Amino acid sequence: MQPEEAPATVLLAGWGRATRTAADLVEPLTASGVEAAISDSGLRGVVARGMGRSYGDAALNAGGTVISTLRLDSLSDGGVVAGAGVSLRRLLAHLIPRGTTLPVLPGTAEVSVGGAIAADVHGKNHHVDGAFSEYVESFRLATPGGMINVSREREPQLFNATVGGMGLTGAIVDATLKTEAISSPFVSMDTDRVGDLESLMTLMSEGDERYKFSVAWIDCFARAASLGRGVLQRANYASELPEATLARGESQFERGPRLAPPDLVPTGALRPIAVSAFNEFRYRRSPSREREKLEAFPAFFHPLDVVADWNRLYGRAGFVQYQFVVPYGAEDVVRRVLDEQVRSPSYLAVLKQMGPSSGGMLSFPIEGWTLALDFPVAYEGLGEMLDRFDQWVAEVGGRVYLAKDSRMSSGLVEAMYPRLSEWREVAGGVDPEGVFRSDLSRRLRIKE
Amino acid sequence: MENAFGIPQSVLAIGGASEIAVAVLKAMAGKGLERVVLAGRSRESLASAEAQIRDSGVADVETMEWDVADGRRQESLVDAAFVAGGEFDLVLLSAGVLGSTSAAEAEPNEAIAVMETNYVGPAVVSLAVSQRLKAQGHGVIVLLSSVAAVRPRRANYVYGSSKAGIDFFCRGLAESLAGTGVRIVVVRPGFVHTKMTAGMPEAPFSTTADDVAREVIRGLARKDAVIWTPSILRWVSLVMRHLPLWLWRKVQERES
Ligand SMILES: Cc1cc2nc3c(=O)[nH]c(=O)nc-3n(C[C@H](O)[C@H](O)[C@H](O)COP(=O)(O)OP(=O)(O)OC[C@H]3O[C@@H](n4cnc5c(N)ncnc54)[C@H](O)[C@@H]3O)c2cc1C
Ligand SMILES: NC(=O)c1ccc[n+]([C@@H]2O[C@H](COP(=O)([O-])OP(=O)(O)OC[C@H]3O[C@@H](n4cnc5c(N)ncnc54)[C@H](OP(=O)(O)O)[C@@H]3O)[C@@H](O)[C@H]2O)c1
């Protein structure tokens, strides 16, 4: 075993690379190492960090301590009890040969168990199966007052404050997860190319309930009559498959990223003109209608994972992801956002329906429509535009996803997250001095 | 915390009554700016700046007496500001005086105030501030340098040398801050219509304080280390720097 090292001051960034701040990084090997890191933390507090896939400043703590969980990497009981730093990719590689999977998978498998719980992540099946926390039985939470065993039954309040709580109630050390039996690591996918937003949303509202998984990719460069045109991919787990196909599927999770942007590609190589052409190509290339195509899990769930560090393509200034959800009845906000962003079009956009909320007090999902958009930071006027979107979203009772945010101002958080005061009370109970904090919590005044 | 666009929540502006500083702060209001401390030498000009910034929607504005020309007092002023104000996301160094070249040529001691205000004070401030920001693990120092720092002119070389000095100093300090989460941004405006230039003949590529503010905000989002305002000065100055001396003299003759 490697020895625990003294903390080193390092510069950390979120996946969007738009803000970078320095913190003392500690990488404990054990639960008691985590507790020691908490009690050794200074005036600027402490927060846990998994794989740094949150886009903004949730896993940063400028001038304070950041606990990397990546060496809390134990796996036992057939993968059901996992250290907080175990990646979903590693878990899948472990579970799939045993004929099971994780019921909720976000758009990348390069996410830690701790990060998945703290952001209460959602997958393409949220409309049917809910968020990650629904499949969390219990976890151990290191707090300034000591280690707490948390489950829905034993500590309902703390459970619901920690799932979706963005690491601000304590550090999860390990978790017991529920898994789901599958007959193969493949899905049977239906694809529909849809020429405009109206038709896309109609198709989704009418048919999504027949599918476990549903997500639409939207070409944000398309205007006017083609506004919101996209490709809808919906799927269910595939049943009975030949042995050879099965074997092929199982090996897929052993591999990491296969490609990386070559060093010669300048950072910031992505330019609107190129992205626009790519989107056109992607739209045209997609079948206009295809049924029951067999697709292996990685290609279906985590298509971007084959390229390592693709976030660097956005260049030095980085990028922001803007993901919001609005309740049913507020479809107009989705249309207005797409309409308005056309002047500085999003490079990547994903639309999906969400099911009812879980119990997480700060969990993002609410029943309705969620749209995620990626923009280079350097777009002129982007900040003002997103500030306007915040207003529209808040007005209809929607919210912005904290795990993606890096730019919102503090004023709207209480409106977007009406259970914030309840959350503050629970968080204050386990962490009365506010030792757990992050750049996100400072920027949005989450703990104040 | 500054957000993804580099917009701060809290700012300490030294030379906070400067018209350019006020324009920058007003442009940040409504984008997430919440708290401002304006530091300067004259109560009256600070009070008027304070009112303008409040009107633009920032509720929490305070003022602080601060004479940047007294180099030895800077460290304790920085300490006082951070002790009272806690954390600052951005420190704006906008104090400056133009001085008079001809006055200095006649009376050498006249040059001292320009050097102390534009170079000595801000240099010590930026050292002291960078220690504080390093401890915070984040923050930006924005220095108002000038295009006058690019190449000496007979008309303003006293001022120009002080700007060249502080510009050089801050870019060097920025190197030493790599990896600390602290950045320094050097802004090099051309001729800006403010009280500093009132009554002077207008130079080519002149702009307003609001133009400068816009470019600063754009540059912060792009994480530029040097911001020229207007941006074309980046290229103009490149030419200026490489003109042969005889031609450079001719340019100056035409201007005066
Ligand atoms: C390409 C891509 C696609 C994505 N798709 C989706 C998606 O479909 N659905 C979705 O919901 N999200 C999605 N995300 C976001 C991502 O799933 C979340 O941000 C997730 O939290 C990242 O996990 P991480 O391990 O990288 O956590 P980090 O980014 O390191 O941390 C995220 C948050 O979790 C907290 N945290 C981490 N570990 C612990 C711990 N052990 N104890 C307590 N708190 C902890 C941190 O303090 C921080 O607040 C996507 C991200 C990317 C890059
Ligand atoms: N205007 C231009 O064309 C131009 C071009 C390039 C660079 N710049 C630079 O931009 C900065 C701002 O200039 P501006 O155009 O906004 O002019 P300004 O309005 O005159 O601002 C200068 C500020 O510096 C303050 N100041 C002067 N001496 C000081 C001292 N000893 N201690 C504390 N504060 C002091 C002044 O205070 P009072 O209010 O009390 O006078 C004034 O508020 C300056 O550094 C200037 O050199 C200006």
Which ipTM did the prediction report? Answer: 0.94
Of B34, B218, B223, the CB nearest to A380: B218
Q: Is B94 in the pocket of ligand 2 (CB under 6 A)?
A: yes
Closest ligand 2 atom to residue B206 Cα is 3
The residue in chain B having the minimum alpha-carbon distance to the alpha carbon of residue A65 is: B137
3 state SS of A410:
helix
Confirm whether A231 is domain-assigned: yes
Q: Is A363 in the pocket of ligand 1 (CB under 6 A)?
A: no
State residue B102's pLDDT score: 97
State residue A1's pLDDT score: 42
Cα distances from A93 to residues A40, A71, A75, A425, in angstroms, run 36, 18, 12, 39
Measured from the Cβ of residue A131, the count of other Cβ atoms closer than 10 Å reads 29
Per the structure, the complete domain to which residue A209 belongs is given by 186-409
Q: Which of A9, A43, A407, A437 to mutate to probe the B interface, most B CBs <10 Å?
A: A407
Nearest protein Cα to ligand 1, atom 15: A54
The residue in chain B having the minimum alpha-carbon distance to the alpha carbon of residue A384 is: B31
Distance B18 CA to ligand 2 centre (A): 5
pLDDT tier at B254, thresholds 50, 70, 90: confident
The reply to whether omega before B230 is within 30° of 0 (cis) is yes
Confirm whether A110 is domain-assigned: no
* Minimal CA separation from B54 to chain A, in Å: 17
Distance A70 CA to ligand 1 centre (A): 13
Evaluated on CA atoms B131, B83, B28, A56, the torsion sign reads positive
3-state SS, one letter per residue, for A291-302 = EEEEEEHHHHHC
DSSP A252-272: GGG----B---TTSPTT---H
The predicted model gives B110-124 an average pLDDT of 98
- pLDDT tens by residue, B166-222: 999 999 999 999 999 999 999 999 999 999 999 998 888 999 999 999 999 999 999
Confirm whether A117 is domain-assigned: no
State residue A261's pLDDT score: 58
Closest to A330 measured CA to CA, from A282, A393, A383, A263:
A393
- Asked if A56's CB is within 8 angstroms of B1's CB, the reply is no
Specify the amino acid at residue B123. Answer: A
pLDDT tier at B107, thresholds 50, 70, 90: very high
* Minimal CA separation from B56 to chain A, in Å: 16
Q: Is A437 in the pocket of ligand 1 (CB under 6 A)?
A: no
Q: What is chain A's length?
A: 448
3 state SS of A245:
helix
Structure-token pair, residue A380? 């002129």
- DSSP H helical segments within chain B, as ranges? 19-28, 43-55, 74-85, 101-106, 110-115, 121-136, 157-176, 209-222, 233-242, 245-255
Contacts of B30 in chain A (CB under 8 A): 387
Closest to B7 measured CA to CA, from A17, A18, A390, A403:
A18
- pLDDT tens by residue, B65-99: 999 999 999 999 999 999 998 999 999 999 999 99
DSSP A383-408: HHHHHHHHHHHHHTT-EE-TTT-SS-
Confirm whether A272 is domain-assigned: yes
Number of compact structural domains in chain A: 1
Closest ligand by atom to A150 CA: 1
pLDDT tier at B15, thresholds 50, 70, 90: very high
CA distance B101 to B221: 37
Distance B28 CA to ligand 2 centre (A): 19
A375 contact partners, CB below 8 Å, separation of at least 6: A319, A320, A321, A322, A341, A344, A346, A347, A382, A386
Closest ligand 1 atom to residue A112 Cα is 25
Q: What are phi and psi of A68, to 5 degrees?
A: -75, 130
State residue B152's pLDDT score: 95
Q: Is B164 in the pocket of ligand 2 (CB under 6 A)?
A: no
Contact B159, B102 (CB under 8 A): no
State residue B256's pLDDT score: 62
Specify the amino acid at residue A95. Answer: L
Establish if B218 touches chain A: CB-CB under 8 angstroms.
yes
Closest ligand by atom to A436 CA: 1
Hey, what's the torsion of the CAs at A88, A89, A91, A95, to 10 degrees? 130
- Which residues in chain A come in under a pLDDT of 50? 1-3, 264
CA distance A115 to A112: 5
Contact B78, B125 (CB under 8 A): yes
pTM of the model: 0.95
State residue B167's pLDDT score: 98
**Residue A347's CATH number:** 3.40.462
The residue in chain B having the minimum alpha-carbon distance to the alpha carbon of residue A43 is: B136
Contacts of B9 in chain A (CB under 8 A): 410, 443
Contacts of B134 in chain A (CB under 8 A): 22
Q: Is A297 in the pocket of ligand 1 (CB under 6 A)?
A: no
State residue A312's pLDDT score: 83
Nearest protein Cα to ligand 1, atom 21: A115
State residue B85's pLDDT score: 85
Of A22, A407, A442, the CB nearest to B4: A407
Please provide the average confidence, as pLDDT, over all residues in chain B.
96
Measured from the Cβ of residue B156, the count of other Cβ atoms closer than 10 Å reads 17
Specify the amino acid at residue A215. Answer: V
CA distance A347 to A344: 9
- Asked if A382's CB is within 8 angstroms of B5's CB, the reply is yes
Q: What is chain B's length?
A: 256
| Rounded-to-5 percentages of helix, strand, coil across chain B | 50, 15, 35
Radius of gyration of chain A (CA): 21
CA distance A238 to A296: 9
Contact A324, A398 (CB under 8 A): yes
Of B22, B91, B94, B210, the residue with max ligand 2 atoms within 8 A of its CB, to mutate for a pocket test, comes to B94
Of B1, B5, B134, the CB nearest to A443: B1
The predicted model gives B236-251 an average pLDDT of 92
CA distance A246 to A239: 11
The residue in chain B having the minimum alpha-carbon distance to the alpha carbon of residue A319 is: B4
State residue A313's pLDDT score: 83
Structure-token pair, residue A222? 């398309």
Structure-token pair, residue B203? 């130079």
Confirm whether A174 is domain-assigned: no
Place of tokens 């056109």: A280
Q: Is B146 in the pocket of ligand 2 (CB under 6 A)?
A: yes
The residues of B annotated as belonging to the active site are 159
Closest ligand 2 atom to residue B147 Cα is 6
Of A61, A320, A442, the CB nearest to B4: A320
Closest ligand by atom to A161 CA: 1
Measured from the Cβ of residue A43, the count of other Cβ atoms closer than 10 Å reads 8
Establish if B32 touches chain A: CB-CB under 8 angstroms.
yes
